[in-house]
Structure 1
Amino acid sequence: MASSLTKGAAPQETTPASSGKTFLGHPSGLAILFMTEMWERFSYYGMRALLVVYLIAGGPDAKPGSQGGGLAMPEATSVAIYSVYVAMVYLLAMPGGWFGDRVWGPRKTVAIAASVIMAGHLVLAIPGKPTFFVGLALVAMGSGLLKANISTMVGHLYDGPKDPRRDGGFTLFYIGINVGAFAAPLVIGTVGQKYNWHLGFAIAAIGMGIGLIIFLLGTRHLNAKSSQVPTPLTVAERNSWLKKGLIWLAIAAVFYGIVIGTGVYTINWALVPIALLGLFIPIFVLARIKRDKELTETEQTKVSGYIWFFIAAAVFWMIFDQGGSTMSTFAEKKTADNVFGFDFPSTWFQSVNSLWVVALAPVFAAVWLALARRNREPSTTVKFAGAMVLVGLSFVVFALPMSMASDGTKVSPMWLIAIYGIQTVGELCLSPVGLSLTTKMAPAKYASQMMGVWFLAVTAGDCVMTLLITAGADLNGIGVMLGQAAAAILAGIGIWLNRKKIIGLMGDVR
């Protein structure tokens, strides 16, 4: 039976979605997915908080007096690696959704993904540059497999896209993400930055292990659709995919063998092709889905409307994801790390966004629900437009402390706390709404894969950052910062001005 997130199936007595057990008024399976995602995000954001400071540690761009033992890379290279890594996590969500739709089903894919993530963190715990990049690749692969499928399973818990609990459920799920993301820098960041980098990575592995156990023990609370493979591969298709994969692997091996053998290899030979790939793939995937003749006319129209939201999200994440790179290095070297005589590591700033989310998400969920009851809830287009303007304004504000710190002065932590706060309000207008919107507008044939498409917006945004860095752009330059701010604000205005056209393309989705 094909899994569809665009139309609700009749409730079945045996499905958790129709049972009497609830989690804060939602299906009990949401608690399992909430906890699984919370621990996965704990492991991911803990490692991410350490990433840039670990890469520059021991090198010329490290903070004086900070712990050594890192990879001693230049700041620009470290930020580019960070951007490519985040891009790959979200790029791999697309094949992750494909595996959920066509090979293992969402539930099995998530279990395998969590195991791969845990293994990746364990490899990161082993000192050495080769092990570091192997571990990073494993975490990216596992995260890609997990992301689209666990979000799809949240959608399975509800009675179709018109279930009034659906947006609230995704908002609660988003809180789980941010509980893990809040705790991770405080625990993993402190241990890694203050005591031992690799012990911090090991703690991330333990966190993912806990999440895996919770998921395996709680699968009986999930909808039966989560175990099904909606459109299984035929034997011929499986052989064709395997052949194509081996051909591309051989091409890559020959190409990089020549580059390395001739002695011209630098890290940009890896970063630039990946970044270009991260921009090409979203365009190719959306075009392929849009041109699929098996889609109904209504589904194709919705895909056209969805492209507007995808482009807006890419610009949003281009700025937002610099919280772990540009803003992280600013926190490390140009922001005071002492408040009322209490010293704290710069990785703690990585918890600020999540703290804002945990504080504000319930408020937003309640406000959206109250406005919906009065038939006054803002449309998705209005929410997206507001998010774009807010994230742009956050970088306008960021330009102020950046200018103040240009002479070596360390600025107050309140600047970063305020900037994260502005970005968080924008995030709550875009991210949980975008997750829910994707499950509503996804063609039935591409149920899990469309969640992967949503995450490709992050890939596109981060790949633009990578290309800017490798081209020599100074992300710490006020001109570059204000240019990004202008791009986001103009994108928000563009969505606002075209909102009627976009709403028309969305069909019955609002």
Structure 2
Amino acid sequence: MASSLTKDSVHPGTPGTEKTFFGHPRGLATLFMTEMWERFSYYGMRALLPLYLVAPGGLHLTAGTATAIYSVYLSLVYLLTLPGGWVADRLLGPRKTVTVAGLIIMLGHLCLALPAAASFYVGLVLVAVGSGLLKANISTMVGHLYNGPKDARRDGGFTLFYIGINLGAFVAPLVIGTIGENVNWHFGFALAALGMALGLAQYLLGGRHLSEQSAVVPTPMTAQEKATTLRKGLIWLAIAVVFYGLVGFTGHFTLNWALIPLTLIGLIVPILVISRILRDKDLDGEERSKVRAYIWFFVAAAVFWMIYDQGGSTLSLFADASAKNTIFGWNFPVSWYQSVNPVMIMALAPVFAWLWLWLNRSGREPSTIVKFSSGLVLVGASFFLFLAPLSIAQDGHKAAAMWLVGIYFFQTVGELTLSPVGLSVTTKMAPKKYASQMMGVWFLAVTAGDSITALLSNPAIGGVNLDKMGFVALESVLAVLAGVAVWMYRGKVNKLMGDVR
């Protein structure tokens, strides 16, 4: 694929080879394909997860518990991007870290393929760990391909990278979802393991096109630091083993002993991490100012993902119970809804990439703040639209599939104005000392949003099914108000951002 889409470079000094991928460094093709296969495995499993959790042939849990597990799993995936960035910064470098991540993810999907509840939860943890190691670092490696933050192609490159993500995400529910729902749940999970194996092979074969910077360990640990870190890690591990061993031995262990602590960690860790970075005396005044500005984008993104990620849980479970899942009279698997957003991304992402460059040339490109505000308003509008099928279902009828397609459309346009731009602005505003770890901080916004969802839906602490009209309306209003607030304070944020736009 890469060879057929490349041509002579117009920027011979760009890291990589003299070939380009749609006018971008050829290494983008390697990362594009690697991420495509990894996302095939991840989104295929994710499309099955909430359905398997509630299915009589699966774990047969309640919708509230399934939503809580799904949300905690997603929050854990993104929470672990922070230590994933740390591993790259201090131990292995981004390139080796991604290789290790691929192996762990593949093993996790193989555990999910085993027909036992214990191995299923182990598999979820392994996939989360591997995804955390991979996500922050592969995005950072995309940033390494460009000539600094001011390279005009940077936003467009991240948008093209997003196409790779969504190509895998589009195909996955159609293949893995169909096999999982119609043949066997665990066969579907096994296909996800195969997808990760293909992604890892592509990455190793195409590694020669990547920037040499991606193999560098930015701030390697000393032998003493390694020993201290290992000792602290073993102490915390021993505490956890003893505590949960006692809980289990006394017969008090329930699923919520795992879910609730992870939910709280997902809310507390982002605050602690950002506070620690701001207190770092190694940062100069300009770097610290940019981190303060970044907090605005972080909070906005957390609100966005809180609503957006319910497309795989709240909306999916609603479709399973209360929607007409038919096209021209033909029934399709519920997991296919998860292909709607990716196919829209692939159709619209090139348009947005071209639009940003065209507006940039004429000096009219919207600022990052305006793009973020638009994303929040659009995701709020998607849940306002959700009120219509909810009303239909309350009357005892099945809602048409096109209502859900419309919701995903609004969310997709909002995602394109916020997510790829957020990845790019993170690499621009990151202090040098925290190059990979700041990408982990960006993903912590997803952790915070999903942790709130998990907290609200957990039946053990008074949570409810989130497909209630009053709650959906409240979320919609919250997102719109957050978008307006960010826009109103754009002057203050722009001043803190310095030369980053």
TM-score band by shorter chain is: over 0.9
Partner of residue 52, structure 2: 54
Q: CA deviation at 1:18?
A: 5.7
Partner of residue 398, structure 1: 386
Within the alignment, does 1:292 sit opposite 2:290 as a pair?
no
Is the contact made by 2:345 and 2:416 (CA closer than 8 Å) also made in structure 1?
yes
The separation in 2 between residues aligned to 1:347 and 1:168, in whole angstroms, is: 30
Is the contact made by 2:16 and 2:26 (CA closer than 8 Å) also made in structure 1?
no
Three-state SS of the structure 2 residue aligned to 1:116 is helix
Q: How does 1:188-199 map to 2 (within 5 A)?
A: 188-199=176-187
The separation in 2 between residues aligned to 1:263 and 1:393, in whole angstroms, is: 46
Residue identity matched to 1:178: N
Residue in structure 2 matching 1:28, options 26, 29, 33: 26
Partner of residue 199, structure 2: 211
Is the contact made by 2:14 and 2:147 (CA closer than 8 Å) also made in structure 1?
no
Is the contact made by 2:91 and 2:220 (CA closer than 8 Å) also made in structure 1?
yes
The separation in 1 between residues aligned to 2:387 and 2:257, in whole angstroms, is: 32
Three-state SS of the structure 2 residue aligned to 1:365 is helix
Three-state SS of the structure 2 residue aligned to 1:295 is coil
Partner of residue 414, structure 1: 402
The separation in 2 between residues aligned to 1:474 and 1:75, in whole angstroms, is: 7
Residue in structure 1 matching 2:495, options 494, 504, 508: 504
Residue identity matched to 1:463: S
Within the alignment, does 1:434 sit opposite 2:422 as a pair?
yes
1:390-423: CA deviations, max 9, x gaps?
A: 1111111101111111133111110010000001
Is the contact made by 1:101 and 1:232 (CA closer than 8 Å) also made in structure 2?
yes
Q: CA deviation at 1:221?
A: 0.2
Is the contact made by 2:63 and 2:465 (CA closer than 8 Å) also made in structure 1?
no
Partner of residue 15, structure 2: 17
Stretches of structure 2 lacking an aligned partner (at least 5 in a row): 1-10
Within the alignment, does 1:141 sit opposite 2:139 as a pair?
no
The separation in 2 between residues aligned to 1:137 and 1:369, in whole angstroms, is: 40
Partner of residue 233, structure 2: 245
- Runs of at least 4 residues off by over 6 Å: none
Within the alignment, does 1:341 sit opposite 2:319 as a pair?
no
Residue in structure 2 matching 1:378, options 366, 372, 378: 366
Q: How does 1:460-475 map to 2 (within 5 A)?
A: 460-470=448-458, 471-475=462-466
The separation in 2 between residues aligned to 1:370 and 1:245, in whole angstroms, is: 50
Q: How does 1:142-161 map to 2 (within 5 A)?
A: 142-161=130-149
The separation in 2 between residues aligned to 1:161 and 1:26, in whole angstroms, is: 15
Q: CA deviation at 1:16?
A: 6.1
Three-state SS of the structure 1 residue aligned to 2:243 is helix
Which sits farther off after the overlay, 290-299 or 258-267?
Answer: 258-267
Within the alignment, does 1:279 sit opposite 2:267 as a pair?
yes
Partner of residue 5, structure 1: none
Within the alignment, does 1:88 sit opposite 2:76 as a pair?
yes
Q: Give the direction of change, closer, same or farther, for the CA distance of 1:184–1:18 in structure 2 (3 Å limit).
A: closer
Q: CA deviation at 1:473?
A: 3.1
Q: CA deviation at 1:310?
A: 0.2
Is the contact made by 2:16 and 2:211 (CA closer than 8 Å) also made in structure 1?
no
Is the contact made by 1:302 and 1:505 (CA closer than 8 Å) also made in structure 2?
yes
Is the contact made by 2:140 and 2:436 (CA closer than 8 Å) also made in structure 1?
yes
Is the contact made by 2:457 and 2:466 (CA closer than 8 Å) also made in structure 1?
yes
Partner of residue 411, structure 2: 423
Which sits farther off after the overlay, 469-478 or 203-212?
Answer: 469-478
The separation in 2 between residues aligned to 1:277 and 1:244, in whole angstroms, is: 18
1:231-288: CA deviations, max 9, x gaps?
A: 0011111111111111111111222223223322221111111010011110000000
Partner of residue 389, structure 1: 377
Is the contact made by 1:357 and 1:424 (CA closer than 8 Å) also made in structure 2?
yes
Residue identity matched to 2:118: P
Residue identity matched to 1:478: M
Aligned-pair identity in percent equals 62
Partner of residue 442, structure 2: 454
Partner of residue 38, structure 1: 36
Residue identity matched to 1:28: R
1:94-119: CA deviations, max 9, x gaps?
A: 00000111100000000110111011
Q: CA deviation at 1:341?
A: 2.5
Residue identity matched to 1:121: H
The separation in 1 between residues aligned to 2:326 and 2:392, in whole angstroms, is: 18
Partner of residue 76, structure 1: 64
Partner of residue 486, structure 1: 477
Which sits farther off after the overlay, 260-269 or 272-281?
Answer: 260-269
Residue in structure 1 matching 2:114, options 126, 148, 153: 126
Stretches of structure 1 lacking an aligned partner (at least 5 in a row): 1-11, 59-67
Is the contact made by 1:16 and 1:28 (CA closer than 8 Å) also made in structure 2?
no
Is the contact made by 1:110 and 1:145 (CA closer than 8 Å) also made in structure 2?
yes
Within the alignment, does 1:353 sit opposite 2:344 as a pair?
no
The separation in 2 between residues aligned to 1:474 and 1:229, in whole angstroms, is: 45
The separation in 2 between residues aligned to 1:252 and 1:490, in whole angstroms, is: 40
Partner of residue 227, structure 1: 215
Partner of residue 301, structure 2: 313
Is the contact made by 2:16 and 2:27 (CA closer than 8 Å) also made in structure 1?
no
The separation in 2 between residues aligned to 1:202 and 1:407, in whole angstroms, is: 40
Three-state SS of the structure 2 residue aligned to 1:22 is strand
Residue identity matched to 1:288: R
TM-score (normalised: structure 2)? 0.96
TM-score (normalised: structure 1)? 0.94
Q: CA deviation at 1:474?
A: 3.0
Residue identity matched to 1:56: V
Residue in structure 1 matching 2:316, options 306, 328, 341: 328
The separation in 1 between residues aligned to 2:356 and 2:347, in whole angstroms, is: 16
Q: CA deviation at 1:296?
A: 1.0
The separation in 2 between residues aligned to 1:473 and 1:482, in whole angstroms, is: 15
The separation in 2 between residues aligned to 1:208 and 1:473, in whole angstroms, is: 35
The separation in 2 between residues aligned to 1:415 and 1:445, in whole angstroms, is: 46
Please report the RMSD computed on the Cα atoms of aligned residues, expressed in angstroms.
1.2
Residue in structure 1 matching 2:162, options 162, 174, 186: 174
Residue identity matched to 2:150: K
Partner of residue 252, structure 2: 264
Residue identity matched to 2:216: Q
Which sits farther off after the overlay, 463-472 or 158-167?
Answer: 463-472
Q: CA deviation at 1:366?
A: 0.8
Residue identity matched to 2:50: V
Q: CA deviation at 1:219?
A: 0.5
Partner of residue 7, structure 1: none
Residue identity matched to 1:37: E
